[in-house]
Amino acid sequence: MTDSGRHQPALRLTRVDLDALPSYVPGRSPADLARELGLPEAIKLASNEVPYGPLPGVVEAVTEAITTSHRYPDMGVVALRDALAQRYGVDADRIATGCGSVALAEHLVRATCLPGDEVLYSWRSFEAYPIIVATSGATSVRVPNDAGHGHDLAAMAAAVTDRTRVIFVCNPNNPTGTAVRRAELDRFLDAVPDDVLVVIDEAYREFVTDPEVPDGLDYLDRPNVAVLRTLSKAWGLAGLRMGWLVAQPVVAAAIRKVATPFSSSTAAQAGALAALTQAAEMERRCALVVAERDRVTEAMRKFVPEVPTSQANFVWLPLAERAVAFGKACESRGVIVRPFAGDGVRVTIGTPAENDAFLAAAEAALT
Ligand SMILES: Cc1ncc(COP(=O)(O)O)c(C=O)c1O
């Protein structure tokens, strides 16, 4: 501010290249939309959350944990890493935790790439990848999805150069819900050079029902594989922020080194530990979501026959140029979905009543 209280002409204080970078788009607030439409509430099917609340015991564990919130959290995240190690049969020194798995994806790129190095991924995929890569000073190499909206692993293998440091395999893929199967992943991993880190991003692993879709943890014998998981989706902790990664110990140690200190909060660690004791309830809720996913897919195929089979907790509607208008039409009926302009719309699976409201809005929009 100047003495006269007016702002000086803008000085360039931040990186010029950020101007060209799209911002991460969070789902719209249902409270805002409800207010705008004069409705008691709106339905949010835009952020791939599970609609059934925190798992039993989580609220109590978090409430207890915040009585020590004047102290720093356990920076080693020892109890949680041990619990994860035990549940998933991996050594704790192979595990790193982060403020959501999106933070771990960022740490992975930060720990592997220097400016000009390449990060390869399928596109369209998780919208955080381009942001993470650009802000790390690395270069994105995007390989278009195949005609079925899934990864084209052969084309991805062919796109590897001597600058490629990391490849993200998003399985199932956000936002299209498609999943790569074992035989194609085996072939792909055989083709990728040993000094390129392949990150299998399994944020939606718990919703996979196709037995041919492999568990990334089965690939940990390969030193250049890392697996990303999260407690945000099936485990119901999106608001607490807790993701985890498994890689070979030297990679996990590098991730822990570049991570923001203390970013796994005391509350998140306690909530995650409590959630992990509720695996049966988590699986019951996932089964509800999966049944609804298949119902919504079938219902939507009457209007959009090319809806791909989803292995996640959302469904992709390849509406191309109609995507944004469809999103607006759903919002006008109190249902928030996630349009990607010119491409398609991602619809998160909610409760049966929420899905019914969506299907009614979709039918009205498309007929
Ligand atoms: C494919 C994928 N990976 C990672 C994440 C990050 O999730 P979180 O940071 O909540 O763990 C998401 C969230 O939408 C996702 O879709």
Type of residue found at 184: E
DSSP code of residue 361: H
Question: Residue ranges per domain, the chain?
Answer: 23-53+280-366, 58-276
HEC sequence for 310-346: CCCCEEEECCHHHHHHHHHHHHHCCEECEEECCCEEE
Residue to substitute in 45, 47, 50, 101 for testing ligand 1 pocket (most ligand atoms within 8 angstroms of CB) = 101
pLDDT attached to residue 27: 73
Residue-level pLDDT at 6: 57
**Taking CB atoms and a 6 Å cutoff, what residues make up the pocket around ligand 1?**
48, 100-102, 126, 170, 174, 201, 203, 230, 232, 238, 243
Rounded Cα gap, residues 136 and 116, in angstroms? 10
Mind listing the pLDDT tens digit for each residue in 4-60?
Answer: 455 566 788 888 888 888 887 777 899 999 999 999 999 999 999 999 999 999 999
Nearest to 345 by CA among 290, 300, 288: 300
- Ligand 1 centre to CA of 233 (Å) is 8
Q: Which atom of ligand 1 is nearest to the CA of 238?
A: 10
Beta bridge partners of 346: 316, 338
Q: Name the residue among 169, 106, 170 with its Cα closest to residue 138.
A: 106
Q: Which CATH architecture has domain 58-276?
A: 3-Layer(aba) Sandwich (3.40)
Q: What is the pLDDT of residue 8?
A: 62
Q: Which residues pair with 166 in a beta bridge?
A: 119, 197
21 CA from centroid of ligand 1 (Å):
19
- Which one of 3.30.590.10, 3.90.1150.10, 3.40.50.2300, 3.30.530.20 gives the CATH number of domain 23-53+280-366? 3.90.1150.10
**Which pLDDT does position 2 carry in this prediction?**
44
Location of structure tokens 């398609």: 344
Contacts of 183 (CB under 8 A, 6+ apart): 212
Rounded distance, CA 106 to CA 41, Å? 35
pLDDT digits (tens, 9 = 90+) for 130-152: 999 999 999 999 999 999 999 99
Q: For residue 85, how far is its CA from the centre of ligand 1 (angstroms)?
A: 21
| pTM (whole model) above 0.75 | yes
Which residues does 45 contact at the CB level (< 8 Å), separation at least 6? 314, 335, 336, 337, 338, 347, 348, 349, 350, 354, 355, 358
CA–centroid distance, 203 to ligand 1, in Å, is: 6
The closest-lying atom of ligand 1 relative to the alpha carbon of residue 243 is 11
With contact defined as beta carbons under 8 Å apart, do 105 and 168 qualify?
A: yes
Please report the pLDDT score of residue 7 as a whole number.
59
Nearest-CA residue for ligand 1 atom 12 is: 203
As averages over each run of 10 residues, the pLDDT of the chain (367 residues) reads: 54 86 81 93 96 98 97 96 98 97 97 96 97 95 98 98 98 98 98 98 98 98 98 98 98 93 96 98 98 98 98 98 97 97 98 98 96
Supply the pLDDT for residue 296.
98
In the structure encoding, which two tokens stand for residue 193, read together? 């050079």
